[in-house]
């Protein structure tokens, strides 16, 4: 009996989040994505310790050096260290992705839950507003807001976040429609439970899986959108280095020093790919029925 008790102790169930993480890491593409995101986050957090130079410092004695022992990824046309600018740009990319998705979740999820629970007139009003936002390409919304309000970090986060709201609302609503009709929700209503308790105790916990998946995929899109805004000149303005304005400033140097464009372009590609891989892995683990549904 003691051996059985010891085995039972050794085989205690893991926390649900740990179970999901283990299953995601078992998928090769998702594991690759987790590693890339973790390394990017580590580099961004420890930037003050590992950035070799001031990302905005100019060195006119070392212009367009290429790869050297002192400048591992070379310098740009103003002598600024590319590695330092790349790491600081990673900070911006992660802040934008987390902030924009946070706005999308905070605003979109309550709207979707209200639409799915109250239905009728409330559902019609909320979803027609969401449809109106979806009609306009999200990049166009971001460009318009960034151009109107100025190219600061907060403006870019707000612009991309607003573009995320309708997608979060639609995702939570589509999942919640099924949950809303289940017996335990009807029993909670019959028992006199308040609307808020029903929404947050019964509908939200059982509808959160697609929101997690959509949030991960939206982080990759936020990185891409921020880079696009920076490239066309309406994103975060220099001298703050971002991957987008690094591409913009490197474009005229494409024939002289192509690596100035390759380095930030590759960083954008790899990080967006990592978010997509993790999102696909989470989708397959949390609800395989969603495979191919969420984009």
Domain positions in the chain are 36-48+74-290
CB 124 within 8 A of CB 70: no
Query: Tens digit of pLDDT per residue, the chain (295 long)?
Result: 445 444 444 455 567 778 888 888 899 999 999 999 999 999 999 888 887 788 888 888 888 887 887 888 888 888 899 999 999 999 999 999 999 999 999 999 999 999 988 888 988 999 999 988 888 777 787 778 777 877 788 888 998 998 899 999 999 988 888 888 777 777 877 877 887 888 888 888 888 888 999 999 999 999 999 999 889 888 888 888 999 999 999 888 888 888 889 999 999 999 999 999 999 999 888 865 555 444 4
pTM > 0.75: yes or no: yes
> Distance (Å, rounded) from C-alpha 66 to C-alpha 75?
6
Alpha helices in the chain (DSSP H): 2-10, 16-25, 28-45, 47-50, 82-118, 120-135, 138-149, 153-180, 183-190, 195-198, 208-232, 243-250, 259-286
Q: Which pLDDT score is estimated for 106? A: 94
> Distance (Å, rounded) from C-alpha 134 to C-alpha 27?
32
Q: Which pLDDT score is estimated for 182? A: 77
Superfamily name and number for 36-48+74-290:
MetI-like (1.10.3720.10)
> Distance (Å, rounded) from C-alpha 99 to C-alpha 225?
13
> Distance (Å, rounded) from C-alpha 277 to C-alpha 47?
25
């Amino acid at each position: 009996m003691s051996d059985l008790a010891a085995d039972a102790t050794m085989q205690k169930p893991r926390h649900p989040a740990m179970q999901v993480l283990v299953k995601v890491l078992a998928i090769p593409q998702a594991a690759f994505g987790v590693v890339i995101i973790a390394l990017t986050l580590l580099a961004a957090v420890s930037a003050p310790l590992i950035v070799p130079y001031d990302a905005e410092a100019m060195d006119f004695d070392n212009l367009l050096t290429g790869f050297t022992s002192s400048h591992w990824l070379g310098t740009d046309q103003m002598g600024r260290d590319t590695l330092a600018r790349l790491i600081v740009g990673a900070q911006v990319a992660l802040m934008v992705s987390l902030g924009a998705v946070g706005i999308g979740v905070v605003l979109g999820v309550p709207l979707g839950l209200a639409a799915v629970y109250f239905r009728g007139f409330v559902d019609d009003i909320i979803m027609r507003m969401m449809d109106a936002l979806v009609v306009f390409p999200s990049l166009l919304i971001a460009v318009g807001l960034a151009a109107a309000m100025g190219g600061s970090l907060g403006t870019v986060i707000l612009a991309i976040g607003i573009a995320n709201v309708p997608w979060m609302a639609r995702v939570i609503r589509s999942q919640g429609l099924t949950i809303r009709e289940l017996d335990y929700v009807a029993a909670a209503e019959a028992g006199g439970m308040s609307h808020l308790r029903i929404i947050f105790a019964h509908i939200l916990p059982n509808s959160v899986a697609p929101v997690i998946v959509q949030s991960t995929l939206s982080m990759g899109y936020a990185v891409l959108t921020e880079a696009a805004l920076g490239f066309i000149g309406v994103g975060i303005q220099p001298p703050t280095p971002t991957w987008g304005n690094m591409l913009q400033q490197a474009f005229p140097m494409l024939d002289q020093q192509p690596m100035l464009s390759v380095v930030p372009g590759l960083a954008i590609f790899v990080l967006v790919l990592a978010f997509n891989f993790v999102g696909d892995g989470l989708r397959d683990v949390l609800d395989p029925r969603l495979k191919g549904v969420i984009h």
